[in-house]
Structure 1
Amino acid sequence: MTDLKFHRHRRLRQNATLRRMVRETILTADDFIYPVFAIEGENIKTEIPSMPGVYQFSLDRLVEEMAEVVDLGIPSVMIFGIPSEKDAVGTQAYHTHGIVQEATRVVKEHFPELMVIADTCLCEYTDHGHCGIVRDGDVVNDESLELLVKTAVSQVEAGADVIAPSNMMDGFVAAIRKGLDEAGYENIPIMSYAVKYASAFYGPFRDAADSTPQFGDRKTYQMDPANRLEALREAESDVEEGADFLMVKPGLSYLDVLRDLKNQFNLPLVTYNVSGEYAMVKAASQNGWIDEKAIVLELLTSMKRAGADLILTYHAKDAAKWLKEA
């Protein structure tokens, strides 16, 4: 065999210490944003059937969950709200005492160092389940922007550190940036859901947030899963309008898009490891078909390797525990 010429790549894989030394992608708890569902009421901690291990929390039970998050070293949470009342214009989204606003106050009172990101959308608050105002069966763009601005300002007034608009209306970053600046919040970052696909992977989230559309679908404002170049156009618009972070949602099936954005733009990049992705892993694990720990850490590492600086994931607490043990 001495006449063969080839590279011995296995030299760098000989033992665990060497493999760790040359590892290119390092996953840590600092990479995680943990999604939290706040619901109105008292003494509520309700598990979401399609998302084992994920719960809706009333405000009086929220502190115990946040204490665990902080103890695990997870630096940030994103708060989603489930209001007790809904109407055609999503009034509770921008009400001073809306559920996201009140949850934000609770978290910041007890854990001021925890970074609170507010989900800025209307779909959880409208009786029709769409992300904007509906006129004659159509989700209208410009009128919806006005309510999204009111929502963002209200969330920041309650103490939110970052605004994360997820509605996919045209011009939403420009409108919110202008609204925040005029309200004196020019230093509040916008984490834009710049590339959000009309994905089948969102099903369990709609159970969690009670946000299923009551008619039609969201394909007129969320992106076609078949499109890749459109993602670059969407992201470029948000960069020009003043976004501080760009997000790709979902994560697992869109790693190519994630890498495209990483190559094209220099803003911090976020991906959302969404509810359907989480539910599939949990279901397979509960059936004994996979090693949950190994699968989850590999999936999250793949997202970071593809370009994500931050990962919004329901696996955050488990992953943080496993990384501590490593």
Structure 2
Amino acid sequence: MTNLQFKRHRRLRHTAALRSMVKETYLHVEDFIYPIFVAEGEGIKNPINSMPGVYQFSLDTFEQELKEVVDLGIQAVILFGLPAEKDAEGTGAFHDHGIVQKATRRAKELYPDLLVVADTCLCEYTDHGHCGVVEGEQILNDPSLDLLARTAVSQAKAGADIIAPSNMMDGFVVAIREALDAAGFQHIPIMSYAVKYASSYYGPFREAADGAPQFGDRKTYQMDPSNRQEAFREAQSDVDEGADFLIVKPALSYLDIIRDMKNTHTLPIVAYNVSGEYAMVKAAALNGWVDEKAVVLETLLGMKRAGSDLIITYHAKDAARWLKGE
């Protein structure tokens, strides 16, 4: 035994202090962006059945949710709207008194230092549930760009700190960048859903945001989960068009893509820990099959280790408590 030659890797794991000293990846509360669903009406706090702990809020109950977020030290939220009415063009997305615009103004009045990210898309606002203008059963790319640009400008006027377009139309970043600049919002960054796959993990979100397509699917504008090289092309286009952040969505099945983006680009990389990923952990935890705290923190740590600088996650409030030792 004494003649064997091998490395003593366990030396650096011998005590908790040693393990802490050589720890490579850390989670911080500042890493998290918390999604909130805001609906027209009053006194609304509707639970999302497939996402335990997540709710739809009206503006009055939204204030209570914001206070909890701020008290936990979370520095950013991303807002999704549920309008009272929908139409073919998604007018509620770009109306100055749309629900996201009203929620943004209220959030900035109450907590000026809280970063408000506005999801910029049409699917929650259109009666057909698609992310652009529809003709027959075709989703038209170029006519959709004008509506998305109008939405971004209205959100910036309401006080959004970051515009996060999620529609996956070709050219959406440059259309929004030019519109923001022309409206005097040169300082507002774009957090692009640069790499967004046509994923099966979005199901619970479609319940939460009431945004399921009424016909067909989104495979003509979201990416094929089989494709890796396509992610490089999509992201590079958005960088060239003026994006300031790059989102990879979903996260768990696409950790390789997160690492690819980190290795290729110098912009901040954002992992979107999506609704289906959240729902699976919650369901397993409620059944006593996993240790929720341990699994969630390990999962989020994996996203950081893969290369994400920020994480959009429904786990943000729980993770913030756990990181504080609560």
For the superposition of Structure 1 and Structure 2, which TM-score range results when normalised by the shorter chain?
over 0.9
Does residue 1:150 correspond to 2:136, yes or no? no
Hey, what's the Cα distance between the residues in 1 that align with 2:132 and 2:175?
14
Structure 1 residues 247-279: Cα deviation after superposition (integer angstroms, max 9, x where no partner): 000000000000001000000000100000000
User: What amino acid maps onto 1:287 in structure 2?
Assistant: N
Hey, what's the Cα distance between the residues in 1 that align with 2:206 and 2:147?
21
Does residue 1:267 correspond to 2:301, yes or no? no
In the other structure, the counterpart of 2:287 is: 287
CA shift, 1:325, in A, is 0.1
CA shift, 1:69, in A, is 0.6
Hey, what's the Cα distance between the residues in 2 that align with 1:35 and 1:207?
14
CA shift, 1:160, in A, is 0.2
Hey, what's the Cα distance between the residues in 1 that align with 2:101 and 2:206?
20
1:17-96 matched pairs, under 5 angstroms: 17-96=17-96
User: What amino acid maps onto 1:165 in structure 2?
Assistant: P
CA shift, 1:37, in A, is 0.3
Hey, what's the Cα distance between the residues in 2 that align with 1:60 and 1:117?
19
Task: Give unpaired runs (5+ residues) of structure 1.
Answer: none
1:290-309 matched pairs, under 5 angstroms: 290-309=290-309
Hey, what's the Cα distance between the residues in 2 that align with 1:55 and 1:14?
44
In the other structure, the counterpart of 2:319 is: 319
User: What amino acid maps onto 1:16 in structure 2?
Assistant: A
Hey, what's the Cα distance between the residues in 1 that align with 2:73 and 2:24?
22
CA shift, 1:148, in A, is 0.2
Hey, what's the Cα distance between the residues in 2 that align with 1:171 and 1:22?
44
Which SS does the other structure have where 2:124 is aligned?
Answer: coil
Does residue 1:221 correspond to 2:221, yes or no? yes
Structure 1 residues 216-239: Cα deviation after superposition (integer angstroms, max 9, x where no partner): 000000000000000000000000
TM-score where L is the length of structure 1: 0.99
User: What amino acid maps onto 2:295 in structure 1?
Assistant: I
Which SS does the other structure have where 1:322 is aligned?
Answer: helix
CA shift, 1:207, in A, is 0.1
CA shift, 1:137, in A, is 1.0
Hey, what's the Cα distance between the residues in 1 that align with 2:102 and 2:20?
43
Hey, what's the Cα distance between the residues in 1 that align with 2:216 and 2:40?
28
Task: Give unpaired runs (5+ residues) of structure 2.
Answer: none
CA shift, 1:17, in A, is 1.6
Hey, what's the Cα distance between the residues in 2 that align with 1:37 and 1:116?
13
Hey, what's the Cα distance between the residues in 1 that align with 2:175 and 2:23?
42
In the other structure, the counterpart of 2:244 is: 244
In the other structure, the counterpart of 1:211 is: 211
CA shift, 1:20, in A, is 1.2
Does residue 1:202 correspond to 2:174, yes or no? no
Which SS does the other structure have where 2:213 is aligned?
Answer: coil
Hey, what's the Cα distance between the residues in 1 that align with 2:81 and 2:18?
46
Hey, what's the Cα distance between the residues in 2 that align with 1:213 and 1:99?
20
- How many residue pairs get matched? 326
CA shift, 1:136, in A, is 1.9
Hey, what's the Cα distance between the residues in 1 that align with 2:284 and 2:178?
45
CA shift, 1:112, in A, is 0.6
Superposed CA RMSD: 0.6
Hey, what's the Cα distance between the residues in 1 that align with 2:139 and 2:271?
26
CA shift, 1:18, in A, is 1.3
The sequence identity of aligned pairs, in percent, is 71
1:78-227 matched pairs, under 5 angstroms: 78-227=78-227
Which SS does the other structure have where 1:53 is aligned?
Answer: coil
CA shift, 1:63, in A, is 1.0
